[in-house]
Amino acid sequence: MHLMVRPTRKPLRGELLVPTSKYHVHRALILASLAEGTSRIKGVSDARHVQYTIRLLRDLGTRISVEGDTYVVRGGRYRPRRQTVSAGSSGTTLYLMLGLASLAESPVTVTGQKYFRRRPVGPLLDALRRLGVELESDDGCPPVHLTPGRPTGGRVVIPGTLSQWISGLLLLAPFASGPTVVEVSGELNERPYVELTVAMMRRFGLQVTVSDDWRRFDIAPGQSARPTDLTLPPDLGSAAFGIAAAALHPSDVLLRGITRLDGDPAHHPETGFLDVVRRMGVPMTVDAGAGGVRIRHDGIRLRGTTVDCREVPDMLPVLCTLAGLADGETVFEHVGHVRLKESDRVAAMLQLNAMGADLTLEGDRLRVRGVTAFTGARVSSYNDHRILMSLALAGTKAHGVTTLTYPKAYEISYPGFLADMTGLGLRLSVEPGPAVTPPASLPEQLRHWAEHRPDGVALVDVRDGHDTGTTWRELDQRVDRAAATLLALGVQPGEAVAYQLPNWAEFVEVSLAALRIGAVCCPLMPILRQREMAFALRRSGARVLLVADRFRNRDHLAETASWFAEDPAGRARVRHVAVVAADGGAVALPADGEGLTWSDWGAATAAAPVDTVALAARQPTPDALAQLLFTSGTTGEPKGVLHRHDTLGHAVRLQAERLGLDDRDVVFIPSPLAHQTGFLYGMWLAVTLGVPQLVQAHWNPRTALRAVVEHGATFVQAATPFLADLLKEVEAGGRAPETLRTMVVAGAALPRSLAERATAVLGTTVCGAFGTTETCLGSLSAPDDPPGKVWGTDGRAMPGVGLRVTDDAGRTLPAGREGNFEVRSPTCFVGYLDRPDLTAEAWTDDGWYRTGDLAVIDPDGYVRITGRVKDVINRGGEKVPVAEIEELLHQHPSVDEVAVVGTPDERLGERACAFAALVDGADLDLEAMRKYLDYHQVSKHYWPERLELVDRLPRNPAGKVQKFVLRQRAEALCPAPLEEQKA
């Protein structure tokens, strides 16, 4: 399901009844539960977060009923009805009730929904302990076990990061046996919410003495709350979205229930929002006769302003939407704590850049430069109610349709949002997501798209000088002719067709043609030379080979002809070589030799007669072999990995579902098509979805950025260097790719600093992943995952996939422990061609694939690859945490990329050597590197003892750092003495 937002062109008309303030409801219900007697609270809220507070209080024994528009609360001592009570997904409920639950007559465990159990509350728990609350928590997160008893009081210091932490302490302190002093350290954020807590406590007879700067609170012990009747004010947090909608469009809108435009925090902590939008030029007037605030205009241009987020902490998302369309620049100060909400709301709102906005994050400041209009896009709500509603409003002012995930997240705080906004005239609807193409063979899917969207773009061959497009009808016809050509050459079902081609249109054509006649695709990397080619041809048994006439600086035609002439046995079973011209022209062919013929592929396919009956008779079954890929051979001889049609098809469908890809995407493929990343998660994915694929043979960041922008690419899967180069190109002044929604980075370590920069600069969600040629993707994060998990890990298990970490004895290790990473998946390979011994070694006795990687799986199931088993550096019995050292060094301002490897040492066994490529004009030496690591408190045992500067790290075509090359270099260095490290 998605929230579909279509642009609104007509003026808005109507009125909204502003719901009751949920901030007041939470506090009023909690305080009433503590007061012996009956309290009547007028102003019922249907916000889901409020329902969580009501449920938790009822589970503690408080009787709460609803009479019309009034809560009737019969308070007193907590007598729990359940040993475990839940805060659901409400942070307010959790933070305000954690300490108060200790006042119950019996032990209580406070928990929350599954994902909520990873929310850190360590500082609050430490403060509660200092107040004498007896509690236990395994990891500083819920669940928290509380032993009954009144707190003792005392002096506590709490960070001012979140107001609810302070409020939770203040609500508990009056019931302590001794006096309490609460002091705030660091920046005091969200002061209005603390002011509201104190004001509400005083309404219930609880006294708090507050310093002038609101950083010290003195609370007398032994107080009692008294029952109170009160009427709660309207919710400006919800009204903000009606105000924003009316500001963005010509309007005559009444927000009923708001009777004043000024006030103090006791009236409402978000009164400051009204001040901000008035500065931005929103025309609001109090209509006393109608009982609300009216916004009436025929179209306005808002003004940029400056916003202190400490005063309106929850308003950044909706204000970002307004600022994005305002004249001039709006600056949001002190945004750090806004990143600690239900989602990282700053990062989430940077998605406006994908809609054509201009947002820049500068440390603790967010700058928004107004634009004239937005563009529709697919963006994520991160299951955050305020992000969903704010981006939805942005979509109403966009050209084109905007699609949002988690379409009902608004129910958490503003259940009437959808009905209220559509009632005014906005075009919002919850709709099913577009379906991925049903399971079928890839050639069948190609035929389907040729019939249903014949003139749509299927393929774009991106070159430095020009691009060439192909429609679905044209691609289907070319594949038919290519398949007929292969049939004429005698290719049989299950037989490998070998081809050494770059990312040209012909690669896609040959692959689909081989699959159409039941043959096996055997793509070979263009970088391979005679030795590797001879091995692959011998092992594959291919009788047909396709090569480029030339590519980059190599004359493949001349090389192949010379090699076959000099070493006839080296061509193994090859009997026919077809040559593909780089420019599409004619090819000058060598003379046919003994048992070997040559042809011009372009000419041969153009003249091939197509027998549709013969082609239909060769349609492969789902379990037929489809692909033979050779591994890089860095740990021994290359291994031929065999995959079937159905497993490859299943793998791409899993990815499409995880990422929300559909038939409106455009897939960019800079990764080699002869590697699984480009072949499966580029070409195969694009044909499955029926969307254009952009193939680029020669990596040029400027050409790549131009193609992405011009053709509207939305998705790419590639290794870290591709992302880094694209980012540098934009930072150097290139146009940001506004449509590029998702980038999956797999195959090489993704430095967190690079991912965060890319998210901010490119406006693209960078998702971490893990996969191998043998298993396809085993883990993948999703754009809707918590931001730190999206690019800070290698993702979570794909549906139906098992992940585990074991010790060297094969025992499964608990969460958080590093060990051997193993995968069990329905997308695993059939086996290694002609090597049953290697196939057997790859599997454990109980059916798990040994990846050869080291990993940690956290309690939430997210994987972090920490290195290869063979890359472990054992220095004098201490294992060096290579991945952590590399991540830290990558954050050094002088370092562009870095890798750490081990070198043999007689005394210690191994020592660490760092290879680093520096940014232009930067300098770094061993001593400076050590001072940097020392500053970051890295143990001296882990410091690299040699630093070698290089222009660029060696990588294979998939982007993986070739550490075996670096180890060879390190061992070959002059044996200069290495400085001994002292413990």
Tell me, what DSSP letter sits at residue 905? E
Quick one: 287 exposed, middle or buried, by C-beta within 10 A (0-12, 13-18, 19+)?
middle
d(C-alpha 796, C-alpha 858), whole Å: 10
Q: Are strands 467-471 and 496-500 parallel, antiparallel or unpaired?
A: unpaired
Amino acid at 296: R
Residue 907 near residue 980, CB atoms below 8 Å: no
76 burial class (0-12, 13-18, 19+ CB within 10 angstroms)?
middle
Give the neighbor-by-neighbor strand order of the sheet with 946-949. 895-905, 909-918, 946-949
Return phi, psi of residue 351, to 5°: -60, -20
**How many whole angstroms separate alpha carbon 704 and alpha carbon 701?**
5
Tell me if 593 sits within 8 A of 571, measured CB to CB.
no
Helix segments in 517-584, DSSP class H: 530-540, 556-566
**Residue 429, CA distances (Å) to 316, 327, 350, 396, 433 in order:** 24, 30, 23, 12, 12
Residue 324 known to bind ligand: no
DSSP code string of 216-247? EEEE-SS------EEEPPB-HHHHHHHHHHHH
Q: Residue 334, exposed/middle/buried by CB under 10 A (0-12, 13-18, 19+)?
A: middle
Is the bond leading into 143 cis (omega within 30 degrees of zero)? yes
* 79 among annotated binding-site residues: no
Contact yes or no for 16/424 (Cβ under 8 A): yes
* CA-based R_g, the chain, Å: 32
Determine which one of 314, 480, 665, 785 is catalytic.
314
**HSE-CB for 32 with a 13 A CA cutoff:** 27
Is 808 a known active-site residue?
A: no
Q: If you ran DSSP here, which 8-state letter would residue 351 be given?
A: G
- Contact between 154 and 219 under an 8 Å Cβ cutoff? The reply is no
Amino acid at 152: T
| Residue corresponding to tokens 């007929």 | 484
Q: Consult the annotation and say whether 138 binds a ligand.
A: no
Query: Is the separation of the CB atoms in 623 and 650 below 8 Å?
Result: no
Strand arrangement, sheet containing 306-308: 306-308, 329-333, 365-369, 358-362
Structure-token match 């954690």, residue found = 98
Strand order in the sheet with 544-548: 597-600, 576-580, 544-548, 496-500, 520-523, 625-630, 640-644, 831-832
What are 547's strand-pairing partners?
500, 579
Check the annotation: does 341 bind a ligand.
Answer: yes
Is 164 annotated as a binding-site member?
yes
Closest by CA to 572, choosing from 600, 545, 547, 601, is: 545
639 marked as binding residue:
no
The residues, any chain, with a CB within 8 Å of residue 541's CB and separated by 6 or more, are 495, 496, 572, 573
Q: Is the distance from CB of 181 to CB of 217 less than 8 angstroms?
A: yes
Residue whose tokens read 């660091």 = 186
Check residue 450 and give left, alpha or beta (phi > 0: left; psi -120 to 50: alpha).
alpha
Q: Count Cβ neighbours within 10 Å for each residue of 694-714 and write b for 16 or more, e otherwise.
A: bbbbebbbebbbbbbbebbbb
> Is residue 408 marked as binding?
no
d(CA 359, CA 57): 42
Tokens of residue 179, six digits: 């006096």
| H/E run at residue 777 | strand 776-780
**Residue 386 among known ligand-binding residues:** yes
> What are the binding residues for 3-phosphoshikimate?
22, 27, 163-164, 314, 341
> What are the binding residues?
22, 27, 91, 119, 163-164, 314, 341, 345, 386
Query: Which positions are annotated as active-site residues?
Result: 314
